[in-house]
Amino acid sequence: MGVSKPRALLREWLVSGVTPLPAGAAEARELLAEAGRQGLVGLLASERLFLDRQPDEVREAWREGARRLFVRGVVQLDLCGRVLRRLEGAGLRALPLKGAAVAERLYDSVGERPMADLDVLALDDPLRAERLLAEEDLKVAERADHAVALRHAKTGAIVELHRSVTSCPGLFPLDASGLFARRDRCGGAVAVVPSPPDLLVSLALHAAFQNGFGLTLVQFLDLRRVFERLPVDEGRVLEATSAARAEGAVLVALAAARTVVGAAPPAGLMAALEARAPFPARRLARAVETGDPLRLVAPQRPSLARTRWALAGGRRLELLRRTVFPQAWPGEPRRGGPSILAHGLSRAGRLLTRELARVLPVPEPKRP
Protein backbone atom coordinates (compact mmCIF):
# COMPACT_ATOMS: atom_id res chain seq x y z
CA MET A 1 0.00 0.00 0.00
CA GLY A 2 2.99 2.30 0.54
CA VAL A 3 3.97 4.28 3.61
CA SER A 4 1.73 7.29 3.09
CA LYS A 5 -1.36 5.72 1.53
CA PRO A 6 -2.87 4.44 4.83
CA ARG A 7 -2.29 7.90 6.31
CA ALA A 8 -4.04 9.52 3.36
CA LEU A 9 -6.97 7.11 3.67
CA LEU A 10 -7.36 7.88 7.37
CA ARG A 11 -7.25 11.61 6.73
CA GLU A 12 -9.83 11.28 3.96
CA TRP A 13 -12.10 9.37 6.34
CA LEU A 14 -11.90 12.17 8.90
CA VAL A 15 -12.52 14.90 6.33
CA SER A 16 -15.22 13.34 4.17
CA GLY A 17 -16.50 10.33 6.10
CA VAL A 18 -15.42 7.90 3.36
CA THR A 19 -14.75 4.61 5.17
CA PRO A 20 -11.29 3.24 4.28
CA LEU A 21 -11.60 -0.17 2.60
CA PRO A 22 -8.23 -1.89 2.24
CA ALA A 23 -7.92 -4.58 -0.40
CA GLY A 24 -6.95 -7.76 1.42
CA ALA A 25 -5.38 -8.73 4.72
CA ALA A 26 -1.96 -7.17 4.03
CA GLU A 27 -3.40 -3.72 3.38
CA ALA A 28 -5.75 -4.11 6.35
CA ARG A 29 -2.78 -4.78 8.63
CA GLU A 30 -0.97 -1.72 7.23
CA LEU A 31 -4.03 0.40 7.90
CA LEU A 32 -4.26 -0.94 11.46
CA ALA A 33 -0.60 -0.10 12.08
CA GLU A 34 -1.03 3.44 10.73
CA ALA A 35 -4.26 3.94 12.71
CA GLY A 36 -2.26 3.01 15.80
CA ARG A 37 0.35 5.64 14.99
CA GLN A 38 -2.35 8.26 14.35
CA GLY A 39 -4.39 7.49 17.48
CA LEU A 40 -7.43 6.32 15.52
CA VAL A 41 -7.76 2.62 16.38
CA GLY A 42 -10.51 3.12 18.97
CA LEU A 43 -12.38 5.66 16.87
CA LEU A 44 -12.45 3.45 13.77
CA ALA A 45 -13.33 0.39 15.85
CA SER A 46 -16.57 2.14 16.80
CA GLU A 47 -17.56 2.06 13.09
CA ARG A 48 -19.28 -1.32 12.78
CA LEU A 49 -19.46 -1.16 8.99
CA PHE A 50 -15.70 -0.71 8.87
CA LEU A 51 -14.95 -3.67 11.15
CA ASP A 52 -17.42 -5.94 9.39
CA ARG A 53 -15.46 -5.51 6.15
CA GLN A 54 -12.08 -6.46 7.65
CA PRO A 55 -10.53 -9.92 7.28
CA ASP A 56 -11.28 -12.07 10.33
CA GLU A 57 -7.76 -12.03 11.82
CA VAL A 58 -7.38 -8.28 11.34
CA ARG A 59 -10.84 -7.59 12.74
CA GLU A 60 -9.96 -9.39 15.97
CA ALA A 61 -6.60 -7.59 16.20
CA TRP A 62 -8.41 -4.28 15.74
CA ARG A 63 -10.93 -5.10 18.47
CA GLU A 64 -8.19 -6.22 20.83
CA GLY A 65 -6.26 -3.01 20.16
CA ALA A 66 -9.36 -0.97 20.93
CA ARG A 67 -9.92 -2.89 24.18
CA ARG A 68 -6.35 -2.29 25.30
CA LEU A 69 -6.66 1.42 24.58
CA PHE A 70 -9.89 1.60 26.58
CA VAL A 71 -8.35 -0.12 29.61
CA ARG A 72 -5.23 2.02 29.40
CA GLY A 73 -7.31 5.19 29.10
CA VAL A 74 -9.40 4.28 32.15
CA VAL A 75 -6.23 3.69 34.21
CA GLN A 76 -4.64 6.92 32.99
CA LEU A 77 -7.68 9.11 33.67
CA ASP A 78 -8.16 7.55 37.09
CA LEU A 79 -4.58 8.54 37.90
CA CYS A 80 -5.13 12.04 36.52
CA GLY A 81 -8.22 12.45 38.69
CA ARG A 82 -6.28 11.35 41.77
CA VAL A 83 -3.46 13.79 40.95
CA LEU A 84 -5.91 16.69 40.63
CA ARG A 85 -7.68 15.75 43.89
CA ARG A 86 -4.34 15.43 45.73
CA LEU A 87 -3.29 18.89 44.64
CA GLU A 88 -6.71 20.38 45.36
CA GLY A 89 -6.67 18.83 48.84
CA ALA A 90 -3.38 20.63 49.50
CA GLY A 91 -4.84 23.95 48.35
CA LEU A 92 -3.03 23.94 44.99
CA ARG A 93 -5.00 24.81 41.87
CA ALA A 94 -4.43 22.66 38.79
CA LEU A 95 -6.10 21.81 35.49
CA PRO A 96 -5.67 19.01 32.93
CA LEU A 97 -4.27 19.76 29.49
CA LYS A 98 -4.38 18.11 26.07
CA GLY A 99 -5.60 14.49 26.03
CA ALA A 100 -6.56 14.40 29.69
CA ALA A 101 -8.77 17.46 29.13
CA VAL A 102 -10.54 16.14 26.03
CA ALA A 103 -10.75 12.33 26.24
CA GLU A 104 -14.00 12.29 28.23
CA ARG A 105 -15.33 15.57 26.94
CA LEU A 106 -14.89 15.41 23.17
CA TYR A 107 -15.08 11.64 22.58
CA ASP A 108 -17.72 8.98 23.24
CA SER A 109 -15.23 6.62 24.89
CA VAL A 110 -11.83 7.11 26.53
CA GLY A 111 -10.53 4.42 24.17
CA GLU A 112 -11.21 6.73 21.23
CA ARG A 113 -8.64 9.29 22.41
CA PRO A 114 -5.39 7.50 23.33
CA MET A 115 -2.80 9.41 25.35
CA ALA A 116 0.96 8.94 25.49
CA ASP A 117 1.00 10.71 28.86
CA LEU A 118 -1.12 12.88 31.14
CA ASP A 119 -0.62 16.63 31.22
CA VAL A 120 -1.49 18.66 34.30
CA LEU A 121 -1.00 22.42 34.58
CA ALA A 122 0.09 23.47 38.08
CA LEU A 123 -1.31 26.96 38.62
CA ASP A 124 0.22 27.36 42.09
CA ASP A 125 3.73 26.53 43.30
CA PRO A 126 4.77 23.78 40.83
CA LEU A 127 7.74 22.79 42.98
CA ARG A 128 5.47 22.05 45.95
CA ALA A 129 3.09 20.22 43.63
CA GLU A 130 5.99 18.06 42.44
CA ARG A 131 6.93 17.21 46.03
CA LEU A 132 3.36 16.30 46.91
CA LEU A 133 3.08 13.99 43.93
CA ALA A 134 6.32 12.26 44.94
CA GLU A 135 4.34 11.04 47.95
CA GLU A 136 1.91 9.43 45.47
CA ASP A 137 4.67 7.27 43.89
CA LEU A 138 5.27 9.74 41.05
CA LYS A 139 9.01 10.12 40.59
CA VAL A 140 10.91 12.50 38.29
CA ALA A 141 11.82 10.89 34.96
CA GLU A 142 12.80 13.98 32.95
CA ARG A 143 12.74 17.75 33.33
CA ALA A 144 12.23 20.49 30.72
CA ASP A 145 11.95 24.26 31.03
CA HIS A 146 8.13 24.16 31.12
CA ALA A 147 7.29 20.75 32.60
CA VAL A 148 8.61 17.84 34.61
CA ALA A 149 7.77 14.25 33.60
CA LEU A 150 6.79 12.08 36.56
CA ARG A 151 6.57 8.28 36.24
CA HIS A 152 4.01 6.42 38.35
CA ALA A 153 5.75 3.53 40.08
CA LYS A 154 2.80 1.11 39.92
CA THR A 155 1.31 1.71 36.48
CA GLY A 156 4.27 3.17 34.60
CA ALA A 157 2.03 6.03 33.43
CA ILE A 158 3.71 9.39 32.85
CA VAL A 159 2.28 12.59 34.30
CA GLU A 160 3.75 15.79 32.86
CA LEU A 161 3.43 18.47 35.50
CA HIS A 162 3.46 21.82 33.68
CA ARG A 163 4.26 25.25 34.99
CA SER A 164 3.35 26.68 31.56
CA VAL A 165 1.52 25.38 28.52
CA THR A 166 4.62 25.59 26.30
CA SER A 167 8.35 25.96 26.41
CA CYS A 168 9.73 29.46 26.95
CA PRO A 169 7.58 30.08 30.08
CA GLY A 170 6.25 33.62 30.09
CA LEU A 171 6.20 34.05 26.32
CA PHE A 172 2.49 33.20 26.41
CA PRO A 173 1.37 34.53 29.80
CA LEU A 174 -0.89 32.51 32.08
CA ASP A 175 -3.71 34.13 34.00
CA ALA A 176 -3.82 31.46 36.71
CA SER A 177 -6.74 32.95 38.61
CA GLY A 178 -8.76 33.51 35.44
CA LEU A 179 -8.09 30.01 34.11
CA PHE A 180 -9.22 28.44 37.35
CA ALA A 181 -12.23 30.70 37.79
CA ARG A 182 -13.46 29.88 34.27
CA ARG A 183 -12.97 26.12 34.63
CA ASP A 184 -15.82 23.71 33.92
CA ARG A 185 -16.85 20.85 36.16
CA CYS A 186 -17.56 17.47 34.57
CA GLY A 187 -18.87 14.15 35.77
CA GLY A 188 -16.00 11.91 34.66
CA ALA A 189 -12.80 10.68 36.24
CA VAL A 190 -11.29 14.11 35.50
CA ALA A 191 -13.74 16.35 37.35
CA VAL A 192 -12.46 19.79 36.28
CA VAL A 193 -11.37 20.94 32.84
CA PRO A 194 -10.47 24.26 31.21
CA SER A 195 -13.31 26.33 29.78
CA PRO A 196 -13.82 25.91 26.01
CA PRO A 197 -11.93 29.13 25.10
CA ASP A 198 -9.01 28.26 27.37
CA LEU A 199 -8.97 24.68 26.11
CA LEU A 200 -8.85 25.91 22.51
CA VAL A 201 -5.97 28.27 23.21
CA SER A 202 -3.96 25.59 25.03
CA LEU A 203 -4.50 23.03 22.25
CA ALA A 204 -3.49 25.60 19.63
CA LEU A 205 -0.33 26.58 21.51
CA HIS A 206 0.63 22.94 21.89
CA ALA A 207 0.05 22.23 18.20
CA ALA A 208 1.67 25.30 16.68
CA PHE A 209 4.32 26.61 19.07
CA GLN A 210 5.29 23.60 21.15
CA ASN A 211 5.45 21.08 18.32
CA GLY A 212 5.48 23.13 15.12
CA PHE A 213 2.91 20.53 13.97
CA GLY A 214 3.94 17.00 13.08
CA LEU A 215 0.91 15.97 15.18
CA THR A 216 -1.10 12.78 14.94
CA LEU A 217 -4.45 12.95 13.19
CA VAL A 218 -6.34 12.51 16.45
CA GLN A 219 -4.57 15.56 17.89
CA PHE A 220 -5.77 17.62 14.93
CA LEU A 221 -9.22 16.16 15.50
CA ASP A 222 -9.18 17.59 19.04
CA LEU A 223 -9.18 21.10 17.59
CA ARG A 224 -12.06 20.29 15.26
CA ARG A 225 -14.16 18.74 17.98
CA VAL A 226 -13.89 21.75 20.26
CA PHE A 227 -16.17 23.53 17.78
CA GLU A 228 -18.35 20.49 17.13
CA ARG A 229 -19.02 19.47 20.72
CA LEU A 230 -18.57 22.49 22.97
CA PRO A 231 -20.29 25.87 23.22
CA VAL A 232 -17.60 28.20 21.92
CA ASP A 233 -18.11 31.93 22.41
CA GLU A 234 -16.05 33.77 19.80
CA GLY A 235 -15.65 36.87 21.93
CA ARG A 236 -14.31 34.87 24.86
CA VAL A 237 -11.95 32.97 22.60
CA LEU A 238 -10.53 36.28 21.41
CA GLU A 239 -10.23 37.51 25.01
CA ALA A 240 -8.37 34.34 26.05
CA THR A 241 -6.17 34.50 22.96
CA SER A 242 -5.29 38.15 23.56
CA ALA A 243 -4.52 37.56 27.25
CA ALA A 244 -2.05 34.82 26.27
CA ARG A 245 -0.62 36.90 23.38
CA ALA A 246 -1.36 33.87 21.22
CA GLU A 247 -3.21 35.33 18.22
CA GLY A 248 -0.65 33.99 15.75
CA ALA A 249 -0.51 30.51 17.26
CA VAL A 250 -4.28 30.13 17.39
CA LEU A 251 -4.70 31.41 13.82
CA VAL A 252 -2.10 29.01 12.43
CA ALA A 253 -3.34 26.04 14.47
CA LEU A 254 -6.93 26.51 13.32
CA ALA A 255 -5.78 26.95 9.72
CA ALA A 256 -3.88 23.68 10.02
CA ALA A 257 -6.86 21.86 11.58
CA ARG A 258 -9.08 23.17 8.79
CA THR A 259 -6.62 21.85 6.20
CA VAL A 260 -5.81 18.50 7.77
CA VAL A 261 -9.11 17.29 9.24
CA GLY A 262 -11.73 19.68 7.88
CA ALA A 263 -12.26 21.71 11.05
CA ALA A 264 -14.82 24.50 10.66
CA PRO A 265 -13.92 27.38 12.97
CA PRO A 266 -16.32 30.34 12.64
CA ALA A 267 -15.44 32.67 9.79
CA GLY A 268 -15.77 35.69 12.08
CA LEU A 269 -13.26 34.23 14.53
CA MET A 270 -10.75 33.51 11.78
CA ALA A 271 -11.16 37.03 10.37
CA ALA A 272 -10.60 38.56 13.81
CA LEU A 273 -7.51 36.44 14.39
CA GLU A 274 -6.21 37.35 10.93
CA ALA A 275 -6.58 41.03 11.78
CA ARG A 276 -4.75 40.68 15.11
CA ALA A 277 -1.99 38.18 14.31
CA PRO A 278 1.49 39.41 13.29
CA PHE A 279 2.25 39.32 9.58
CA PRO A 280 4.68 36.33 9.74
CA ALA A 281 1.96 34.25 11.40
CA ARG A 282 -0.60 35.29 8.78
CA ARG A 283 1.81 34.29 6.05
CA LEU A 284 2.44 30.94 7.77
CA ALA A 285 -1.30 30.32 8.04
CA ARG A 286 -1.69 30.86 4.30
CA ALA A 287 1.22 28.52 3.57
CA VAL A 288 -0.32 25.87 5.83
CA GLU A 289 -3.66 26.07 4.03
CA THR A 290 -2.16 25.82 0.53
CA GLY A 291 0.43 23.12 1.20
CA ASP A 292 0.20 19.34 1.37
CA PRO A 293 -1.87 18.51 4.48
CA LEU A 294 0.08 15.33 5.18
CA ARG A 295 3.28 17.35 5.63
CA LEU A 296 1.81 18.52 8.93
CA VAL A 297 1.01 15.01 10.16
CA ALA A 298 3.32 12.73 12.16
CA PRO A 299 5.82 11.30 11.54
CA GLN A 300 6.61 14.32 9.36
CA ARG A 301 8.66 16.92 11.21
CA PRO A 302 8.13 20.47 9.96
CA SER A 303 10.70 22.99 11.09
CA LEU A 304 10.01 23.84 14.73
CA ALA A 305 12.50 26.73 14.65
CA ARG A 306 10.90 28.35 11.60
CA THR A 307 7.39 27.94 13.01
CA ARG A 308 8.31 29.50 16.34
CA TRP A 309 10.14 32.33 14.57
CA ALA A 310 7.00 33.13 12.57
CA LEU A 311 4.72 32.93 15.61
CA ALA A 312 6.96 35.27 17.59
CA GLY A 313 6.70 38.13 15.09
CA GLY A 314 7.27 41.35 17.01
CA ARG A 315 8.72 39.45 19.99
CA ARG A 316 11.66 37.63 18.50
CA LEU A 317 14.28 38.98 20.89
CA GLU A 318 12.08 37.79 23.75
CA LEU A 319 11.77 34.37 22.07
CA LEU A 320 15.55 34.09 21.76
CA ARG A 321 16.10 35.15 25.36
CA ARG A 322 13.52 32.77 26.76
CA THR A 323 14.73 29.91 24.54
CA VAL A 324 18.42 30.14 25.36
CA PHE A 325 18.06 31.39 28.95
CA PRO A 326 14.80 29.92 30.28
CA GLN A 327 13.41 30.83 33.67
CA ALA A 328 14.54 28.63 36.53
CA TRP A 329 11.88 26.53 38.18
CA PRO A 330 10.55 28.17 41.37
CA GLY A 331 12.78 27.14 44.24
CA GLU A 332 15.80 26.30 42.09
CA PRO A 333 19.06 28.05 43.06
CA ARG A 334 19.99 31.03 40.91
CA ARG A 335 22.89 30.51 38.53
CA GLY A 336 25.84 32.86 38.44
CA GLY A 337 26.98 34.69 35.29
CA PRO A 338 29.36 31.99 33.93
CA SER A 339 26.85 29.26 34.77
CA ILE A 340 24.04 31.12 32.98
CA LEU A 341 26.22 31.55 29.88
CA ALA A 342 27.29 27.90 29.86
CA HIS A 343 23.69 26.76 30.29
CA GLY A 344 22.50 29.04 27.50
CA LEU A 345 25.21 27.87 25.09
CA SER A 346 24.47 24.23 25.91
CA ARG A 347 20.76 24.72 25.30
CA ALA A 348 21.41 26.56 22.02
CA GLY A 349 23.62 23.67 20.91
CA ARG A 350 20.90 21.10 21.66
CA LEU A 351 18.33 23.12 19.73
CA LEU A 352 20.65 23.46 16.75
CA THR A 353 21.40 19.73 16.82
CA ARG A 354 17.68 18.93 16.86
CA GLU A 355 17.03 21.20 13.87
CA LEU A 356 19.94 19.73 11.92
CA ALA A 357 18.68 16.21 12.65
CA ARG A 358 15.38 17.20 11.05
CA VAL A 359 16.88 18.36 7.76
CA LEU A 360 19.93 16.15 7.32
CA PRO A 361 19.49 12.73 5.68
CA VAL A 362 19.70 9.67 7.90
CA PRO A 363 22.85 7.72 6.96
CA GLU A 364 22.40 4.23 5.59
CA PRO A 365 23.57 1.50 7.99
CA LYS A 366 26.94 0.02 7.07
CA ARG A 367 26.85 -3.37 5.48
CA PRO A 368 28.96 -6.07 7.15
**Is 216 strand, coil or helix?**
coil
- Nearest in space to 311 (alpha carbons), one of 169, 204, 196, 202: 204
Helical spans, DSSP H, in the chain: 5-16, 25-38, 41-45, 48-52, 56-89, 98-102, 126-134, 176-181, 196-205, 217-229, 234-243, 247-261, 267-276, 279-290, 304-311, 316-324, 337-359
Full residue range of the structural domain in which residue 207 is found: 196-331
Are 247 and 209 part of one and the same domain? yes
Question: Could you tell me if residue 73 is inside a domain?
Answer: no
Picking from 194, 214, 232, the residue at the C-terminal end of a domain is 194
Picking from 179, 194, 209, the residue at the C-terminal end of a domain is 194
Are 208 and 221 part of one and the same domain? yes
Dihedral angle sign, alpha carbons of residues 35, 37, 43, 46: positive
Predicted local confidence at residue 266, as pLDDT: 97
Question: Could you tell me if residue 68 is inside a domain?
Answer: no
Predicted local confidence at residue 181, as pLDDT: 97
What CATH number is attached to the domain comprising 162? 3.30.460
Are 188 and 204 part of one and the same domain? no
Q: pLDDT tens digits, residue range 31-52?
A: 999 999 999 999 999 988 889 8
Are 181 and 262 part of one and the same domain? no
Are 98 and 181 part of one and the same domain? yes
Question: Could you tell me if residue 70 is inside a domain?
Answer: no
Question: Could you tell me if residue 18 is inside a domain?
Answer: no
Are 97 and 204 part of one and the same domain? no
Are 274 and 166 part of one and the same domain? no
Are 170 and 100 part of one and the same domain? yes
Residues 6+ apart with CB under 8 A from 321: none
Are 175 and 202 part of one and the same domain? no
Question: Could you tell me if residue 46 is inside a domain?
Answer: no
Are 188 and 214 part of one and the same domain? no
Question: Could you tell me if residue 320 is inside a domain?
Answer: yes
Question: Could you tell me if residue 109 is inside a domain?
Answer: yes
Predicted local confidence at residue 368, as pLDDT: 36
Low-confidence ranges of the chain (pLDDT < 70): 1-3, 330-368
Are 209 and 187 part of one and the same domain? no
Work out how many domains the chain is built from and give that number: 2
Question: Could you tell me if residue 188 is inside a domain?
Answer: yes
Predicted local confidence at residue 53, as pLDDT: 87
Are 203 and 327 part of one and the same domain? yes
355 Ramachandran zone, left/alpha/beta (phi>0; psi -120 to 50): alpha
Dihedral of CA atoms 208, 212, 215, 219 in degrees, nearest 10, equals -10
pTM > 0.85: yes or no:
yes
